[in-house]
Chains A and B, each alone.
Chain A
């Protein structure tokens, strides 16, 4: 059972570089999310998707982009990396049906440092 898989687990970027964090899930979940976790600040939602072809901004979308071309994949792109984007990034997925919401399943996280 792979669940939610994120790559890479660790990455160091220089200011101004770009990169993509990959996320894939094999549970056929319709909802997918990207969160960032900063020390003492909980998890902040960056972007989310309610299905293939549909994405929307969360609380802190600036500096990021996403796409959802398939149900399984939800990559997060960082353009022009800045030190403020140093964080741990979590991808998550869940199954939603009508008024029923399932729990989020999280990937193991990706630790990104921008120097």
Chain B
């Protein structure tokens, strides 16, 4: 079975602070994919990043960066110099093809990030 744990239910920061959202996953597969999605107050789900299990390179995209560590089964997301527009619920998700799971995406419960001006 797959599992994604986002231990931080809510985080509140002041604008320009850096913030890291934690994601810990469980899977028995050697091939799997990890995702982050953003859900702003408007409600839609926006894809941020996909990472496969064979690529442990960290990635940076503007103010966003991701740290993938297989040794600790973690895929953490850092926002540098946070802005009010970053306020949203952020979901980490995992998919693989084990046991007939057929690439169903398993989501964590999400972290609500509030960036205050």
Beta-carbon nearest neighbor of A111 in chain B: B43
Contact of A58 with B by CB under 8 A: yes
Q: Give the dominant DSSP class at B's interface.
A: loop
Beta-carbon nearest neighbor of B10 in chain A: A40
B43 contacts A108, CB within 8 Å?
Answer: yes
Number of cross-chain contacts by CB at 8 Å:
51
With A58-B104, A96-B103 already in contact, the answer to whether A105 and B47 are too (CB < 8 A) is yes
A26-51 near B? 1/0 per residue, CB < 8 Å:
00000101010000111111001010
* Interface residue tally on B, bucketed by range: 20 to 34
Report A91 CB to chain B, min CB distance, Å: 11
Beta-carbon nearest neighbor of B100 in chain A: A56
Assembled-state Cα–Cα distance A92/B43 (Å)? 14
Contact of B64 with A by CB under 8 A: no
Contact of A74 with B by CB under 8 A: no
A48 contacts B109, CB within 8 Å?
Answer: no
With A99-B31, A103-B50 already in contact, the answer to whether A42 and B104 are too (CB < 8 A) is no
Partner of A101, one of B33, B43, B106: B33
Residues of A within 8 A of B33 (CB): 101
Give me 23 A-to-B residue pairs in the complex whose CB atoms sit less than 8 angstroms apart, sorted by A's number: A33-B105, A40-B9, A40-B109, A41-B109, A42-B91, A42-B108, A42-B109, A42-B110, A43-B91, A45-B106, A48-B102, A50-B102, A58-B104, A94-B103, A99-B31, A101-B95, A101-B103, A102-B50, A103-B35, A103-B47, A104-B45, A108-B43, A109-B43
Residues of B in contact with A (beta carbons under 8 Å apart): 9, 31, 33, 35, 37, 43-45, 47, 50, 91, 95, 97, 102-110
